[in-house]
Amino acid sequence: MTIKLYGVAMSTCTAKVLACLHEYGAEFELVPVNLQNGEHKQPAFLAKNPFGQIPALEDGDLTLFESRAISTYVAEKFKGSSCDLLRSQNPKEAALVKTWMEVESQQFSPAISPIFYQSIIVPILHGGSPNQAIIDESAAKLGKVLDVYEKKLSSSKYLAGDFYSLADLHHLTYIYYLMKTPYGKLINERPRVKAWWEDISSRPAFKKVASGLTLGDKN
Amino acid sequence: MATPVKVHGPPLSTAVSRVLACLIEKDVPFQLIPVNMAKGEHKSPDFLKIQPFGQVPAFQDEATSLFESRAICRYICEKYPEKGNKGLYGTNPLAKASIDQWVEAEGQSFNPPSSVLVFQLAFAPRMKLKQDQSLISQNEAKLEKVLDVYDKRLGESRFLAGDDFSLADLSHLPNAHYLVNAAERGELFTSKKNVERWWGEISSRDSWKKVVDMQKQST
């Protein structure tokens, strides 16, 4: 039975899971959710995610929401393949992966998400004007987080060590969109962060996902 | 005999208390190392070596160093599966995935508004800082919506992730405790039947009572 992922390719959180599924070469079906029609707030979808947000995953009898829980589940399900994004066999490495996954969740995302929301979602989906004060405040916070990353990446190639892991992967989709805004400079101004970004975004699994991250594209 | 693990930080910190609750549930011996935050010890070069974001807690288990309370909790459960509460992080992959999902819900949906309220209502007055009423009302409204989802869930399930107390419920204890006992917001929990029942159960666990004692003794 195939994994079903409910969501849309251009969504940062759905795409986070897509990147993980592609890294593992997992078979899955992306089931679109019609956000414009409010499908995500209807009872059928709320049964999958009571918070009414995408993505949600179905695998046999299991239904899961929260992109980071989903990607962790995928990584554990396909453990033992040549792909190893959790480093489960090495407790010390696995501990560092856990730590930097939480850093992305608790330090990085809260700082970057308002920039993404104001710069891309507000003008494109709501036809409004970005709130520059919110952007500036978030850019300052994100800068401080990225200063820590710059220092960390001087002693290891990736965030949790010299190996690519879910900790790095979880950053891909927000940074991809950030680079479409003037705030991409926060990445470009930091040489090691920039090099890390260029490395992780050039992975074949991510390139498959990036082609779907079309919010803000002028077409 | 293994060296006790080390937790750096004050028990009054919500993130530190999250880790302490987990250690006590798992019956893992630990040493609590004070960090003088009033004197800025958490921003000192020595502390930044073990927690580069300058926050508490930091954690050491012999040669393994971690930070971010939820990462530390997961690490403790995975390293010591046979100690204390064996089901705290599930005893099979499906249970673990469900627990991860609700730990993420806590981190992404419950924590942001509840943290703001705890700071504004419990800490700001004691630190003689001015409260921001608009921030308080916005976050009360957000938290209400989250607790509505919880109330529905807890009508279907005894605890968030299933029939057993888990890391998902534990993760909520620190902020909820302050909301009820230091911020006069108990009504957020008592006004919803299933949430009230759940809060009563989880807050009366021996492990949490011990953490609250540690908090009281530290003042």
pLDDT of residue B131 exceeding 60, the answer is yes
Average pLDDT on B31-51 reads: 96
The per-residue pLDDT for A56 is 98
The per-residue pLDDT for B1 is 60
Question: Computed from CA positions of residues A157, A161, A162, A168, in that sequence, does the dihedral angle turn out positive or negative?
Answer: negative
Q: What is the DSSP string of B33-96?
A: E---GGGTGGGSHHHHHH-TT--S-EEEETTEEEESHHHHHHHHHHH-TTSS-TTTT-SSHHHH
Rounded to a whole number of angstroms, the distance from the CA of A74 to the nearest CA of chain B is 10
**Tokens 């230091």 -> residue:** B182
Q: Do B100 and A91 touch (CB under 8 A)?
A: no
Average pLDDT on B19-45 reads: 97
ipTM topping 0.85:
yes
A68 CB within 8 Å of a chain B CB: yes
The per-residue pLDDT for A62 is 97
Q: Do A107 and B53 touch (CB under 8 A)?
A: yes
The per-residue pLDDT for B156 is 97
The per-residue pLDDT for B93 is 95
d(CA A178, CA A187): 9
Of B71, B94, B101, the CB nearest to A102: B71
Would you write out chain A's pLDDT as a tens digit for each of its 219 residues?
789 999 999 999 999 999 999 999 999 999 999 999 999 999 999 999 999 999 999 999 999 999 999 999 999 999 988 899 999 999 999 999 999 999 999 999 999 999 999 999 999 988 999 999 999 999 999 999 999 999 999 999 999 999 999 999 999 999 999 999 999 999 999 999 999 999 999 999 999 999 999 998 875
Q: Could you tell me if A20 and A67 are in contact, meaning their C-beta atoms sit under 8 angstroms apart?
A: no
